[in-house]
Structure formats: C-alpha cells, structure tokens
Chains A and B, each alone.
Chain A
C-alpha cells in the first residue's frame, strides 16, 4: 500500500514539517554543499492532483495550487506535512529535505491522492 511507504522517513522530515508550518511560508532547509534548491509544481484541477506523482531531487520545494472552485487540502498520509484549507487559487509549499516516497491526499476529499518521490 502506498500509505505505508514513508513511515520510515517520518522522523527525518518531522523537523522540516514543523519548520515549514511554523514559518507560515516555505523555507529551504538544504544545508551547505547540497545542490541548490529547486521547485516543482502540482496543480489541483477537477478534484485531482496533477501530476499525481512528482519525482524531485532532495531539497526541492513543491508548491500545490488549487484551481478548483471547491477548497482542498494537501495532507501527507503520516501527517508529516499538512496544509491549511486552500480556497481557489491558494497555494501550499513544502520543502522535501530527505529522499523517500511521500504519499498524500486531500483530507476534505480523501479519494484525491498523490505522491512525491524524493530522490
């Protein structure tokens, strides 16, 4: 099952999750010597995450944009990251520091699922 995959990285990214939520905005946590931070986009259209799976390098900031008329959220299955509700055109960003597979869903419409693969 997808949702089981990332439990082992929970502890590792917990600090990053807290940092992001408390900061209220994205914050790169890549340390010196790592490749420069890059960005990736996920669009929410028609109750779907697109692309449903996004593969990025460690240190990448992924930004979700809700383009539906209905509010959505982005919540990782293990709660490592969790957006506030996003109304139309609102965004949420999270920086993935460590490699792993992060399954997530919309907690309002849980049939909506997606995955971030960090290499």
Chain B
C-alpha cells in the first residue's frame, strides 16, 4: 500500500517552479480522465495517462470501475487550448484503450463553455464514441448560463430532483450527484441549498453504514481556496449526513487540477480539465486559463507525464513518450 505509486497529485508543498510544474502537472492530465476502481469498498483513482506506466502497481480489478472526466468547456477557443474537442477525443481514446471497459462515466460539469446547444451537441457526439455508454452528469456553472439550468435539465437531468441532483446504486456502491452551481450569492461560494440538503439527508437515511458512498459535484465540496470561490458554502452540512458511513469519496472538478485530501472517513479528489489548466491556488492574479502557445500545448500533451510518490513532497515531472 505504502509503495503504491499514486495517481493523485497532491498540492506541491515546495512552492518552487510552480508555474512550469503546475502547468506540466495539469497538461499531463489534459485530454485524459481518471479511472476509478472500487475495491473492498474503497475507491482508488488513477490517471488514464499514467496507467501504462504503473506496471505491477496497476489497478487490480475491483468490484466496479468507472471513469471521471470533467471540465470539457466545449466552445472554449482561446490560446490556452484552441482544440478542446481534440483533447476530449483524446480522453475518449484513452478510455477505449482500457483493458477492462469501465461500466460508466461521470462528467463533473462544465460540459460546455457558454451553455450553447451546439456545444452540448459536440460533447454528446464525442462521448458517443466511448465504450461506456452510460454517462452521469452534474452541471458546472458554465452549463447553466442564461436559463437557470433549464437546458441542462432537459438534456441530462431527466428523473433528477430539483436543479438536477439524484442518486443511483451500482454493485453495492451508492452514488450521489449534487448541484452546487445554482443561485450563487454575491461574495459567496458554491451552494447546495436547503432543499437539496434535506434531500441528501433523506436519501442516505436508510442505507447501511457499510455502504460505500461516492458523491460527485462540480465545485469542490471542501475549501480548496475560498478566495477564488473554490469551495461550497454549505458542504459541511452535506458531509455531516455522511458521517456514519465508513467509506465516502467525493469527486469534483471546477479547479482544472488534481488535488486530494483525506478527512476522517472522507477522501476528496478533484479532477483536471480535458480542456485547459488553471493555476494553483493563489499562484496567479486570477484563476483564469493558463496560456501557452498552441504548438507547445500539443507537445506537452504528448510527451509529459508526472509521478507523485507517496511520502515525497515534490512532484517528479518525467518527460516520456506515451505512444
């Protein structure tokens, strides 16, 4: 266990070379997703771009495997990535290359960049090429622009409650998709709201405490960096309802970089974007896209990989061919 090469890249504690490292770190993930394997009731997450290098540490077949992708931002066309369709297709290629096809996919929001129908259409079309046919979505703030999420609900929220929250069970694991991008208040963070919180309490009330729980939502349900709005105001209440469970995993997007945190029974993961990276918390003037020339974006996508080894503080950036 201790020797396992971890896929998750924990925040760089050295605070040196942040821009390049932060950039390379995320670009290794851009165009990819994360393979999640539930094994013995505990969820482990692996970067798809790292699987080939894991060797003996490769994920064992668990009870259940699925893929998380996030922040496709279809329609974004600025220098940070002028081809977000291409990088999403690259993610699909990685998913289709897995030796055991994942059972389904989770998309943790910001499917589109501007909530335009054609942006959603393009993502739908690309994801149709993935072997897993079921995709479970939660909205990002970019998916509910101008219409309070009406279009998102029509496309992806059939049968969902409220603004699009729902739960389902797969092979003994209970999945809860939450919406924390609606009705945001001036100066505030992500919000779940009273109605959704009540629903969560009711949804898990009758579950055994041994049931593994996976919660997914767009904005992190922990305070990554409130100064940039990277947190959810009322997430503590939601997590309080999950205290009785032995294994809780929270999967988020929004911040376009990977972070991990363990707090009691809860493991938090954030996923990188399939579109463009954002800076590490507080390491830039704003959380806007990190820009690089197009040719550099492509080359970095192709050849750079990142290792995080448990017990070390620094990320090791390794240039190697993924071909």
Q: Give CA–CA (A69, B147) in the complex, Å.
A: 21
Residue among A2, A105, A107, A110 having the largest count of chain B Cβ atoms under 10 Å:
A110
| Interface range, A side | 20 to 34
Q: Is A88 an interface residue, CB under 8 A from the partner? A: yes
Q: Give CA–CA (A82, B123) in the complex, Å.
A: 29
Q: Is A43 an interface residue, CB under 8 A from the partner? A: no
* Residue among B80, B115, B227, B285 making CB contact with A111, cutoff 8 Å: B227
Residues from chain A with Cβ under 8 Å of B39 in the complex? none
Contact A109 B186, beta carbon cutoff 8 Å: no
Q: Give CA–CA (A107, B291) in the complex, Å.
A: 24
Q: Closest CB-CB distance, B190 to chain A, in whole Å?
A: 9
**Main secondary structure on chain B at its contact with chain A?**
loop
Contact B186 A70, beta carbon cutoff 8 Å: no
Residues from chain B with Cβ under 8 Å of A77 in the complex? 186
**Residue of chain A at shortest CB distance from B141:** A108
Q: Give CA–CA (A48, B287) in the complex, Å.
A: 11
Residues of B within 8 A of A (CB): 76, 78, 80, 113-115, 141-142, 145-146, 184-189, 226-229, 285-289, 291
Q: Which 3 residue pairs are nearest across A and B when measured between Cβ atoms?
A: A105-B186, A46-B286, A47-B286
Interface pairs (30), CB distance under 8 Å = A46-B285, A46-B286, A47-B228, A47-B286, A48-B286, A68-B286, A69-B78, A69-B80, A69-B288, A69-B289, A70-B288, A71-B113, A71-B114, A73-B145, A77-B186, A105-B186, A108-B141, A108-B145, A108-B184, A109-B141, A110-B184, A110-B185, A110-B229, A111-B187, A111-B188, A111-B226, A111-B227, A111-B229, A113-B186, A113-B187
